[in-house]
Amino acid sequence: MKRKGNVNIILLSFSILLGFMLVVQMKQHVESYNLVTLKSIQIKKNEIINSEKEIEELKLLIKEKQGELKKLEEFNYKGEDMQELLVEESNKNKVIAGFTDMEGPGIVIKMQDNQNIEVVGSEIKDDVIHDADILEILNDLRVAGAEAISINGQRVMPMSEIKCGGPIIRVNGKSLGSPFVIKAIGNSKQLYAAINAPGTFGYTLKNVYKISIESTVEDKIHIPAYSGYFSFYYAKPIKEGD
């Protein structure tokens, strides 16, 4: 009987040890997985859309430059005044570069942190607006064809930095606080859908993370010209023939 009791104790101890090892192994296996959130899925989706958009823009740019070359050849052939063409091209470049006030139909978006007392997100940081959220909204607007964009009166340029600085966000070196008012000129219906349609990043922020997002369509929106300056310290233009 004593020997049988010893055997039972050994079997019991072995079973407990085996169970402990299985639990530890399962825990390590579970922790090796990274949770996939709606935000991460939407971000990857937007990256693909933006890449496709860039390809289409490059195709349009090639076509545009071919048209400009043909126009120059016609001017040269007809012997017309080149100064008029140069002034026209200069004004066009100012518009593209963002150094001209713009006006037209579009959308006005007002974004605020989650104002509810109860935290909705898994963490408190999910209830406030971050620079990444602003960038995603801007990307969606660009994909929808926005021709000019501003944030709290600051013109958004290709080189504009948008980054968090505590409770504020810095744009073009300026500190901007909530609420963030984003204005975009373009096709109003497409811009509105880019923010409010189910599956968009704006829809997720509003309905999942309860970030306050109000969108209004307007027939006449004014977006100021870029008032800052920037210099190229490293990038240098390539001369023809180099």
What confidence score (pLDDT) does residue 31 get? 47
Rounded-to-integer distance, Cα 54 and Cα 60, Å: 10
32 assigned to some structural domain: no
Question: In sequence order, what DSSP letters do the residues of the chain get, joined into one string?
Answer: -HHHHHHHHHHHHHHHHHHHHHHHHHHHHHHTSPP--HHHHHHHHHHHHHHHHHHHHHHHHHHHHHHHHHHHHHHHHHT--HHHHHHHHHHHHHHHHT-S-EEEEEEEEEEE----SS--SSSGGGGS--HHHHHHHHHHHHHTT-SEEEETTEEP-TT--EEEETTEEEETTEEE-SSEEEEEES-HHHHHHHHHSTTSHHHHHHHTS--EEEEEEEEEEEEPPP------SS--PPPTT-
Domain limits at 186? 102-223
In a domain, 169, yes or no: yes
What is the CATH classification number for the domain harbouring 195? 3.30.70.1880
Q: Does 179 map to a domain?
A: yes
**pLDDT recorded at residue 34:** 55
pLDDT at position 47 is 82
The whole-angstrom separation of Cα 122 and Cα 120 is: 7
pLDDT recorded at residue 216:
95
Number of domains in the chain: 1
pLDDT at 32: 46
Distance CA 92, CA 239 (A): 22
Whole-model pTM: value is 0.63
Cβ count within 10 A of residue 108? 15
**d(Cα 202, Cα 191) in Å, to the nearest integer?**
11
Question: Length of the chain, please?
Answer: 242
**Confidence (pLDDT) at 236:** 82
Q: What is the pLDDT of residues 122-171, one digit of tens each?
A: 555 566 788 899 999 999 999 999 999 999 999 998 888 888 877 788 89
**Res 164: pLDDT:** 84
52 assigned to some structural domain: no
Mean pLDDT in order along the chain per 10 residues (242 residues): 54 64 56 61 81 84 80 63 72 81 96 68 64 93 95 91 84 88 96 94 88 93 87 78 57
Say if 42 falls within a structural domain: no
In a domain, 1, yes or no: no
Q: Is residue 170 included in any domain, yes or no? A: yes
pLDDT at site 88: 77
Q: Which residues, other chains included, contact 231 with Cβ-Cβ below 8 Å and sequence gap of 6+? A: none
How high is the pLDDT of residue 115? 66
Structural domain includes residue 208 = yes
Structure token pair of residue 113: 């942190």
